[in-house]
A and B are shown apart, each in its own frame.
Chain A
Amino acid sequence: MSVSQIIIFPILLPLASAIAMLFFRRSVMVQRIISLLTSFLLLTAAGVLLSAVISEGVLTLQVGGWAAPFGITLAADLLSAVMVAVSALIGLTTVIYSFAVIDSERERFFYYPLFQMLMMGINGAFLTGDVFNLYVWFEVMLISSFVLLVLGGTPVQLEGAIKYVTINLLSSSVFLAASGILYGIAGTLNMAELARITPDLAQKELLAVVSVLFMITFGIKAAVFPLFFWLPASYHTPPVAVAAIFAGLLTKVGVYALIRFFTTVFSHEAVFINEVLLVGSALTMLSGVLGAVAQYDLRKLLSFHIVSQIGYMIFGLAVHSPLAIAGALIYIVHNIIAKTNLFYISGIIERICSTCDLKKTGGVYARYPVIGILFLIPALGLAGIPPLSGFWAKFVVIKAGFEAGEYVVTGIAVLVSLLTLFSMMKIWNEAFWKDMPRKDYAAGENSYDSMGIGQRVLLFSPVVALALLTVLLGVFFEPVFRLAESAALQLLDTEAYIVPILGGKE
């Protein structure tokens, strides 16, 4: 078995396990065991993939043995490998968290197989080296996410799902149209070949249109201003475990696609796109955080924060220096971990106070001080307090912004950082610090107090693990930065991506 075969495992493992679980549809316990096992294997495979990519450079796999521009290419560079590793980690923690919070009705209706299909779609999107294939993986991911979003069928879920499905269908059709036009111009959809031939193509105007279409479609998926409104309208409706994986991973797939397209594939078009993205990123940061400050629903507040944080990543991409892209990568990793964790904790708060309305919550710190501390780590991390991971992520992005002379947008980034801190403190004040307004905590079947010790272990181990990672990423920042820097250099050197797939230039 050659080393590059490891690329297929992040796609194959979730698929195989989802199918295996179908045979055990009556036994939720067996499904849980398979999910857990798969998630561990997936994390291992992702770890092996990452270390192989670090030691050997870009790995490629030609599916079916059909040579590069004609067949389907899977390729893993450092960016892909890091994304797969982080999403595998989030997949594992969310599976464990799901054991504690997902109700048995949803579990019986294929929650775990759907979850694995979602992971397959995400991993496929990270690993593919073909534009149309990327479209297919987006669809796999979206269809799983549609079902996960409506699973349970409460009215509020359906309302959120209508917005989510409509906008995503729109974005998919733009994606498909753009792919069609691109194929018409270039005669290929292999990313490496596109990267090689597009600079010499005659139809510059059409190419510019296509790149804008791709920017729009990935902008919708990544929730960039002004295309983000679907996100806060839908992410607070599904169960918290589903919301957590959506918040952590789905928008980042859009960001990944933006980075992949406007560094590797359309590197020469990037100048114009970057100007648009720069303005877009500033408005994304600002509108997201202002939306968050105004919210009193905990999960809506966190949803607006996703938007705001996306702005920083896009900012890094738009500045386009090696340092800025390294910063964007660090930001993605940091944000996936911290944001998912905040959603986990919002689920715990909801269990304690039986509501997500910050006006009706309170007193959590007095009753459960440990939860307060666990909240503070990702919250302060998100706001960018040293030595947590968010500080470094912001520091690198902002430093790159100043170096590039983008003072206005960088200034906005600093301001948004303060507002982020403000809104995190708002959650702290309203949910943890002030007295409980009603004096009665949730009781009954779904409340926190009724959970057994085993369930609490399942509930807290993901939170503790991710909080620990937020601290560790900050404290041992140097290796993280070096990895991100080499990933960024690899992205900006398109030949590093093209040669392993297509071979050297004739």
Chain B
Amino acid sequence: MYSIILATASKYLLLLLQMFSLFLLFRGHNEPGGGFVGGLVAASAYALYFIANGISEAEKLLKIDPFYLIATGLMIAVSSILPSLLVGLDVMKAIWIDTGIPFLGKAGTPLVFDIGVYFLVLGITLKIMFSLAEEDRQ
């Protein structure tokens, strides 16, 4: 069922929800939020778009195979270990830098890890969603 209201709204909601997911991502660690829930919100934005516009439109919008989002997310998450290893601290010890940017505040390796989780969750959710939709299409 195609609803023009939902289809139009989903385009704007997509942007809004993605901004909200980024907000959740950067807000995480000390306050509720973080990579996992941020990734889920971002994935739900795409889910809404896909429900309104169909699977092919959603795939066209995403441009990249969710599989590579999973791999990228994992890679980013693991790379958060590198700084502690290179500096010679205990492995995975958090390193924080005060960036001075008002919105971001302190940034550190846990944030890198969270960004990795964000992509990982987004990728896995989309992969599951697209795979289920694929069955539907056939």
A residues in contact (CB < 8 Å) with B: 1-2, 5, 8, 12, 15-16, 19-20, 22-23, 25, 61-65
Contacts and interface: CB of A to CB of B under 8 A. Distances in A.
Given A5-B88, A15-B78, A16-B78, A23 B94 contact: no
Interface in B54-107: 67-68, 70-71, 74-75, 78, 81, 85, 88-94
Given A2-B88, A64-B93, A64-B94, 11 more contacts: A1-B85, A5-B91, A8-B85, A12-B78, A15-B78, A25-B67, A61-B90, A61-B91, A62-B90, A64-B91, A65-B93
A12 B71 contact: no
Given A1-B85, A5-B85, A8-B85, A22 B71 contact: yes
Interface of B: 67-68, 70-71, 74-75, 78, 81, 85, 88-94
A5 B91 CA distance: 7
A22 B90 contact: no
Nearest to B76: A19
Contacts, number: 41
A8 B91 contact: yes
Given A12-B81, A23-B68, A64-B94, A1 B74 contact: no
A64 B74 contact: no
A502 to B, nearest CB: 16
A25 B72 CA distance: 13
Nearest to A19: B74
B71 A19 contact: yes
A266 to B, nearest CB: 28
Nearest to A72: B92
A16 B76 CA distance: 11
Most-contacted residue by chain A among B68, B93, B94 (CB, 10 A): B93
A350 B85 CA distance: 46
Contacts of B71: 19, 22-23
A23 B64 CA distance: 13
A19 B85 CA distance: 19
Contacts of A20: 75
15 contacts: A5-B85, A8-B91, A15-B78, A16-B78, A19-B74, A19-B75, A19-B78, A22-B70, A23-B68, A23-B71, A63-B90, A63-B91, A64-B90, A64-B91, A65-B93
A65 B75 contact: no
B29 to A, nearest CB: 14
Contacts of B70: 22
A15 B77 CA distance: 11
A22 B78 CA distance: 14
Nearest to A21: B71
B25 to A, nearest CB: 21
Nearest to B71: A22
Contacts of A16: 78
A64 B81 CA distance: 9
A15 B93 CA distance: 18
A65 to B, nearest CB: 4
Contacts of A64: 90-94
